[in-house]
Amino acid sequence: MPDHDILSDDEREALSAVMLEPDLPPQRVLIVDDDRDARELLSEILALDGIHCMTAASGETALKMLETKPSIGLLITDLRMGNVDGLELVRLVRESPRAALPIIIVSGDADVKDAIEAMHLSVVDFLLKPIDTDKLLGLVKHELGMDL
């Protein structure tokens, strides 16, 4: 009986590539902080637990990334930054197509007014620096559905 292959080499290659890809893109965390060291440290802490991160140095960059990267499933932002600070970033996200995105604010310089305003903007939590990494990891895993 002759061997009849119904797939061309190109089709077979395309099928193999699809089969190797995961079903869903990994949910990534976008870390926004104008302090490079703080961004990288937070990214490294989360990466140790297998959490994929992206970083942005400003609120403006974060907004552009949120428009083009649907795999971002959580935003962690510093409160005090340049033109677009953390609260303004949260407000802009809440008015965008990504309004339901879970957001965690971290800050080394916050007052009660900031925390109350953040909670009114439906953030997941407001953490003070130095960050309790166990608490942060628990929140991130919960929001990304990794704590099942």
pLDDT digits (tens, 9 = 90+) for 108-134: 888 889 889 988 999 999 999 899 999
Give the per-residue pLDDT at 25.
45
Give the per-residue pLDDT at 21.
47
* Secondary structure of residue 97 in the 3-state scheme: coil
DSSP character string of 73-126:
EEEEEESS-SSS-HHHHHHHHHTSTTTT--EEEEESS--HHHHHHHHHTT-SEE
User: Which residues, in sequence order, are CB contacts of 3 under 8 Å at separation 6+?
Assistant: none
- One-letter amino acid at 98 equals R
pTM for the structure as a whole? 0.81
Residue 61's CB is within 10 A of a number of other CB atoms, namely 14
Give the whole-angstrom CA distance, residue 113 versus residue 61: 26
Bridge partners for 74 per DSSP: 29
If pLDDT is split at 50, 70 and 90, which confidence band does 88 have? very high
The pLDDT tens digits for 12-68 are 776 665 555 455 545 899 999 999 999 999 999 999 999 999 999 999 999 999 999
Answer yes or no: is pLDDT of 141 > 90.
yes
Do residues 55 and 40 make contact, with C-beta atoms less than 8 angstroms apart? yes
Residue 47's CB is within 10 A of a number of other CB atoms, namely 12
